[in-house]
Amino acid sequence: MKRLFFCLAAAALLMVTISEGALAAGKQLTIGMVVKAPSAPYIQAFMKAAEDRAKSLGAEIMIRDGEGDSIKIMEIIDTFLAQGIDAFLLGGAVDLRTLVPGIRKLNEANVPVAALDSSPEGGVVDFFLSFDLAQSSAKAAELFIEGIKNRNGGKVPEGVVLEIVGDNADMFTHACTEGFNSVISKYPQLQVAQGEGKWNNTDSHAVTSDLITRFGEKIVGIYVQTPDVMAPGAVAAIEAAGRNPADFGIAGICIGPEGIDLIKKGKMLGAVEQPAYDGAALAVQYLVDKLKGNPVPKIGDTIVVEGAIWSPAKVIRNQWADDGAFVVLQGPLVPQEISPDDPRLWENMLTK
């Protein structure tokens, strides 16, 4: 397997000679970016990273809120194409199938496409950058099971575990559940009760409260798919029921500032970090490099950056899109593998 060694700092400052078409005339490259839920901290990390990297490369980035609505996203894509964007970056969506015609329009216009968080389920996505959702969820589920054992004399007792998921229309949710089930299915004495938290604390609070009322003392653990946007709601429901969150060993993937705070307060057992800032920065870098004819990651490569928490990153075929590369970033388990105070965590970068 080939190994590519990229220095992130050097890449950000790289100056290249442009030799073809409009680029030769010094045209500033423009990247159109669509995000969902711009108030969510991890989306703010996407936006800041994209803006920071675009600025360092002399590119312009236009960011629009797609509101998680695939029809709206396709309308924005049409507008971007009319404006003559050079590249497109998708920073999250819910229905990844409905928006595929928009991705194919970009393909037909020879506009390179990158995606973060979740991948369109069709069309050519040149670069999909994320951690492995199923693998990371399995890692979090292993921690979750260890927590159950530690609270029950080293054994997994018979009981109910709550799985608070995001949105069942989202490929992200299904990949996370796949990883969770790969671990939980080894313990047939556990019954899984699932509820949709809809990627927000209001819904996660409501569904957790309902499930606590339904199953009561039978609950031996509560797993929250993405603690960054749903754990505070789940914790509030637990406390409203007069229970201690520490007794439920909350775990999941994606931490966010809220998750960091809950870990430090002992209300959450741990979570796998989503490399949100790094993924967005790399996506902009790869899009610009592709447009300028510079080397970009290829399927079969492994990207290694000394000291980066997302490294090494294998590059494999994107299984969701018709074609393209999936750059599989690493996600460390916090606080078991790295400290919640580690400055490399984007949550700590954004709060400086």
- In the prediction, which pLDDT does 171 show? 84
- How many C-beta atoms surround the C-beta of residue 188 within 10 A? 9
Nearest residue to 205 via CA among 177, 249, 164: 164
User: Residue 177 is encoded by which pair of tokens?
Assistant: 């559940």
> Is 305:8 a contact under the CB 8 Å cutoff?
yes
Pick from 148, 235, 208: nearest CA to 184: 148
- For residue 1, the model assigns a pLDDT of 37
Whether the pLDDT of residue 203 is over 90: the answer is yes
pLDDT on residue 329: 97
Q: What is the pLDDT of residue 19?
A: 33
| C-alpha torsion sign, points 162, 164, 167, 172 | negative
β-strands 30-35, 313-317 pairing: unpaired
> What type of residue is 173?
T
Residue 315 has pLDDT above 50, yes or no: yes
pTM for the predicted model, two decimal places: 0.86
* 170, pLDDT greater than 50: yes
pLDDT at position 350 is 83
Helix, strand, coil fractions of the chain, as percent rounded to 5: 40, 20, 35
Q: Are 310 and 329 in contact (CB under 8 A)?
A: yes
Q: Is the pLDDT of residue 102 over 80?
A: yes
Contact in structure between 117 and 172 (CB atoms under 8 Å): yes
Using alpha carbons only, what angle is made at residue 209 by residues 237 and 179, rounded to the nearest 5 degrees?
A: 90
Give the pLDDT confidence score for residue 7 in this predicted structure. Answer: 37
Q: Mean pLDDT check: name the lowest of 111-120, 167-176, 261-270.
A: 167-176
Contact 227, 256 (CB under 8 A): yes
Residue 205 is predicted with a pLDDT of: 98
Q: Which amino acid would we find at residue 334?
A: V
Chain-wide mean pLDDT for the chain? 92
- Does position 79 have pLDDT exceeding 70, yes or no? yes
Tell me the two tokens of residue 179. 């990883």
* Rounded-to-integer distance, Cα 216 and Cα 162, Å: 11
Question: What is the average pLDDT across 75-79?
Answer: 98
Query: What percentage of the chain exceeds 90 in pLDDT?
Result: 88
Task: Indicate if the pLDDT at residue 14 is higher than 60.
Answer: no
Q: What is the pLDDT of residue 26?
A: 61
> Residue 333's closest CA among 222, 230, 254, 225?
254
| Mean pLDDT, residues 314-324 taken together | 97
Q: Is the pLDDT of residue 16 over 80?
A: no
Residue range 177-194: mean pLDDT, rounded: 98
Query: What per-residue confidence (pLDDT) applies to 94?
Result: 86
Of residues 239, 276, 234, the one with CA closest to residue 251: 234
Q: State yes or no: pLDDT of 231 exceeds 70.
A: yes
343 Cβ neighbours under 8 A, 6+ residues apart: 349
Q: How crowded is the C-beta side of 115, counted as CA atoms within 13 Å?
A: 27
Flag whether pLDDT at 43 surpasses 70. Answer: yes
Residue 252: which pLDDT band, with cuts at 50, 70 and 90? very high
CB 318 within 8 A of CB 119: yes
Could you tell me the two tokens for 197? 């938290």
Q: Which residue has the higher pLDDT, 23 or 77?
A: 77
pLDDT at 15 over 70: no
